[in-house]
């Protein structure tokens, strides 16, 4: 391809839907592998209240296993189910090859609340790594399970866990000869799925607000791409753009007050800034090339974006106040979709 015309999901899908009856994009980003996962055992969390059927330990097992960094000791192989540190025989867990062990117990409290006291033990060193307690009601048991997973994951890897986060995604199912598009949100493990929007027209580019209370996305329900904002708690929707041409790549500012986006209303894909309070637009780039994929720097004062202004797609940095632009990538013919 002599000239770069399609640079990302936001533009490529817009073009593809006009020439193909079905479309989609699957992005698999593999940054590293792990052929020697840490072996960990998660003993059943003792529950003094039989009315609670959720198996907290199973959720923790699944979280850690799914990360790819851990191999979980099967419960059927365990020689005992200790809930207290004094009841742990490290020899039994070494025989199973477990390097770490998670134990705990749940205690009912007043007003329908529960305490889960849990410990992480280093089997090899025969010592307690930490003791911790989380509290909540019956409806929050899955959240508490993910919190336990996050705590264990960070203690062993040094990396903050993401099991308590949520995901937003779009599905496309063919029914009666046409596609039905659905925007969902769910826990990171896919549980507690909630339908936010259903449409016969494509939905794409869902992105979370910094406070996790809203989504922005692109919908074609008006007959052309438009950017919408939707509250997760009330499902209330607000249309933010409906210009001719491209309306895409929404990116919330770190404080949630502004949104960077790509518009081609003036004839060329450019990056704009939308003040979500005043609903005023400000054009940030002004170039004959394609400028797209804005990503905020953590300080909220600069943006990274993709542009072919140098002949091939490369990453640039834009100072919002001065509009000064700096090229960041030089190696390779295709560098796009910056992420921090």
CATH number at residue 292: 2.120.10.30
pLDDT at residue 169, rounded to an integer: 97
The one-character DSSP state at 74 is P
Least confident range from 3-17, 72-86, 117-131, 235-249: namely 3-17
The one-character DSSP state at 13 is H
pLDDT band, very low/low/confident/very high, at 35 (cuts 50, 70, 90) = confident
Query: Is 244 domain-assigned?
Result: yes
Do 182 and 90 lie in one domain? The reply is: no
Do 175 and 223 lie in one domain? The reply is: yes
- Select from 133, 157, 181 the last residue of a domain: 157
The number of CA neighbours under 13 Å toward the Cβ of 85 is 15
Query: Is 68 domain-assigned?
Result: yes
pLDDT at residue 176, rounded to an integer: 85
Do 140 and 242 lie in one domain? The reply is: no
Do 120 and 259 lie in one domain? The reply is: no
Query: Quick check: helix, strand or coil at residue 129?
Result: strand
Do 112 and 203 lie in one domain? The reply is: no
Do 103 and 224 lie in one domain? The reply is: no
- Select from 129, 157, 185 the last residue of a domain: 157
Widest distance between CA atoms in the chain: 71
Do 120 and 253 lie in one domain? The reply is: no
List the CATH number of the domain containing 139: 3.40.50.10070
Q: Average of pLDDT values for 109-132?
A: 95
Query: Is 208 domain-assigned?
Result: yes
Name the residue with tokens 């365990």: 78
**pTM, to two decimals:** 0.81
For residues 77, 83, 87, 92, the Cα torsion angle rounded to the nearest 10 degrees is 20
Q: Average of pLDDT values for 116-142?
A: 96
Which domain does 253 fall in, by range? 9-23+170-327
- Select from 157, 178, 197 the last residue of a domain: 157
Query: Is 255 domain-assigned?
Result: yes
* Number of compact structural domains in the chain: 2
Helix intervals (H) in the chain: 9-16, 56-66, 90-95, 141-157
Do 113 and 177 lie in one domain? The reply is: no
Query: Quick check: helix, strand or coil at residue 89?
Result: coil
More confident site: 18 or 132: 132
Sheet with 214-219: strands ordered across: 203-208, 214-219, 226-231, 237-239
Report the C-alpha gap between 134 and 190 in whole angstroms.
22
pLDDT at residue 112, rounded to an integer: 87
Report the C-alpha gap between 302 and 298 in whole angstroms.
8
With contact defined as beta carbons under 8 Å apart, do 53 and 106 qualify?
no
Query: Is 333 domain-assigned?
Result: no
Concatenated DSSP letters of 146-208: HHHHHHHHHHHHSS---TT-EEEEEEEEEETTEEEEEEEEEETTS-S-EEEEEESS-EEEEEE
The number of CA neighbours under 13 Å toward the Cβ of 278 is 6
Do 202 and 290 lie in one domain? The reply is: yes
Count of helices and strands (H, E) across the chain: 4, 21
Do 91 and 116 lie in one domain? The reply is: yes
Query: Is 276 domain-assigned?
Result: yes
Do 185 and 323 lie in one domain? The reply is: yes
Query: Is 340 domain-assigned?
Result: no
Query: Is 249 domain-assigned?
Result: yes
């Amino acid at each position: 391809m002599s000239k770069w015309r399609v640079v990302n999901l936001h533009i490529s899908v817009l073009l593809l839907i006009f020439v193909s009856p079905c479309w989609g994009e699957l992005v698999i980003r593999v940054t590293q592998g792990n052929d020697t996962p840490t072996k960990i055992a998660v003993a059943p969390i003792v529950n003094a209240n039989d009315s609670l059927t959720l198996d907290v330990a199973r959720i923790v097992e699944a979280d850690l296993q799914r990360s790819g960094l851990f191999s979980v000791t099967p419960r059927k192989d365990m020689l005992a189910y200790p809930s207290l540190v004094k009841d742990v025989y490290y020899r039994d867990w070494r025989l199973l090859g477990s390097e770490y062990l998670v134990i705990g117990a749940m205690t009912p409290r007043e007003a329908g609340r529960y305490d889960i006291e849990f410990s992480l033990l280093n089997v090899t060193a025969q010592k307690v790594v930490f003791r911790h307690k989380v509290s909540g009601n019956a409806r929050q048991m899955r959240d508490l399970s993910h919190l336990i997973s996050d705590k264990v994951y960070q203690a062993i890897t040094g990396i903050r866990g993401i099991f308590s986060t949520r995901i937003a995604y779009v599905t496309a199912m063919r029914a009666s000869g046409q596609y039905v598009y659905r925007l969902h949100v769910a826990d990171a493990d896919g549980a507690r799925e909630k339908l936010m929007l259903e449409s016969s027209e494509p939905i794409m580019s869902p992105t979370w607000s910094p406070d996790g209370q809203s989504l922005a996305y692109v919908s074609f329900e008006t007959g052309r791409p438009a950017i919408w904002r939707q509250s997760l708690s009330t499902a209330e929707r607000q249309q933010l753009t409906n210009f001719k041409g491209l309306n895409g790549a929404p990116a919330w500012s770190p404080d949630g007050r502004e949104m960077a986006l790509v518009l081609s209303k003036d004839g060329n894909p450019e990056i704009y800034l939308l003040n979500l309070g005043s609903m005023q637009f400000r054009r940030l780039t002004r170039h004959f090339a394609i400028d797209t994929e804005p990503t905020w720097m953590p300080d909220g004062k600069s943006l990274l974006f993709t542009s072919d202004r140098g002949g091939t797609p490369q990453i640039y940095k834009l100072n919002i106040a001065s509009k000064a632009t700096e090229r960041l990538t030089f190696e390779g013919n295709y560098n796009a979709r910056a992420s921090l």
